[in-house]
Amino acid sequence: MIKLRKSEERGHANHGWLDSYHSFSFSRYYDPEHMQYSVLRVINEDVIAPAMGFGMHPHRDMEIITYMLGGELRHTDNLGNGSVIRAGDVQRMSAGTGIVHSEFNASSTEAAHLLQIWILPAQEGIDPGYEEEHFPLEEKRNRWRLIASQDARDASLLIHQDVALYATVLEKGRTLAYDIAAGRSAYLQVARGQVDMDGGILLAGDAAKIDAQQAIDLEALETAELLLFDLPSVNDFDD
């Protein structure tokens, strides 16, 4: 079974310096029908104006993944980490018992475009942690590239939950399938481009909730960048 979540249905907040779309309830956007999906709690698509950003603020007991689509984002935290991430880079921050960090557009001229993802951890109260990795385009071109997993296999980032997060850049006219194991759910997010999924058209910003289905088949109608979350069954969680 596939349920589409169209881009225009998302929550939207434009603060001038920050233009943000919320796939799930977040901040002042509240939708009881879209609180989370399985352990996936937040997908925010953010565009941050040059030299603007979020000052130091705390998090706890959340796995936070930042997937860069364009521009530059400067991260600093109270663990002593500091870096600038760019398109192709993925950052993982395990908030655990508590972490304080800031995120600012590192460019004074270009906007930063990113997806920020929150995943509920399997266990609360772990030690906070941070890592980042660059995933070259060639590793994602027309195939699934594992970018985060609970065992850090295949040089993916470590997340403390039974989730496998894949990315692909699917060129126009190319096809790609994904097999879903019994007892698992999946969530597909279109970051950009346009795809046909089992006869349904998904545009940039659209998503699909996938449950009780053995596989999905994708065809790029134009070059598309996609994220696929392989998740514990949604039936075990409130949706």
| pLDDT per position as a tens digit, 229-238 | 999 999 887 5
Looking at residue 238, what is its pLDDT? 53
| pLDDT per position as a tens digit, 79-135 | 999 999 999 999 999 999 999 999 999 999 999 999 999 999 999 999 999 999 999
Residue 149 DSSP SS3: strand
Residue 188 has pLDDT above 80, yes or no: yes
E strand map for 49-183:
53-59, 63-70, 72-77, 82-86, 89-94, 99-105, 112-119, 129-134, 145-149, 157-158, 164-170, 175-179
DSSP designation for 70: E
Domains of the chain, first to last: 2-236 (2.60.120.10)
Residue at token pair 């001229």: 109
Least confident of 20-24, 62-66, 78-82, 141-145: 78-82
Residue 239 has pLDDT above 50, yes or no: no
Consecutive H or E run containing 9: none
Residue 206 has pLDDT above 60, yes or no: yes
- Cα–Cα distance measured from residue 239 to residue 222, given in angstroms and rounded to the nearest whole number: 31
Over residues 141-166, the mean pLDDT reads: 98
| pLDDT per position as a tens digit, 28-62 | 999 999 999 999 999 999 999 999 999 999 999 99
Note the Cα 69 to chain centre separation in Å. Answer: 11
Kindly give the pairing relationship between strand 184-197 and strand 200-203. Answer: antiparallel
DSSP designation for 17: S
Tell me which residue of 112, 79, 75, 77 sits closest to 91, measured CA to CA: 75
| % residues pLDDT > 90 (the chain) | 96
As a 3-state breakdown, the chain gives helix, strand, coil percent values, each rounded to 5, of 5, 60, 35
> What separation in angstroms does the CA of 92 have from each of 24, 114, 201?
20, 13, 31
Tell me which residue of 55, 84, 52, 57 sits closest to 68, measured CA to CA: 84
Alpha helix segments (H runs only) across the chain: 137-140
Indicate the average pLDDT of the chain: 96
Tell me which residue of 90, 72, 79, 187 sits closest to 133, measured CA to CA: 90
Residue 234: count of CB within 10 angstroms of its CB: 21
Looking at residue 237, what is its pLDDT? 73
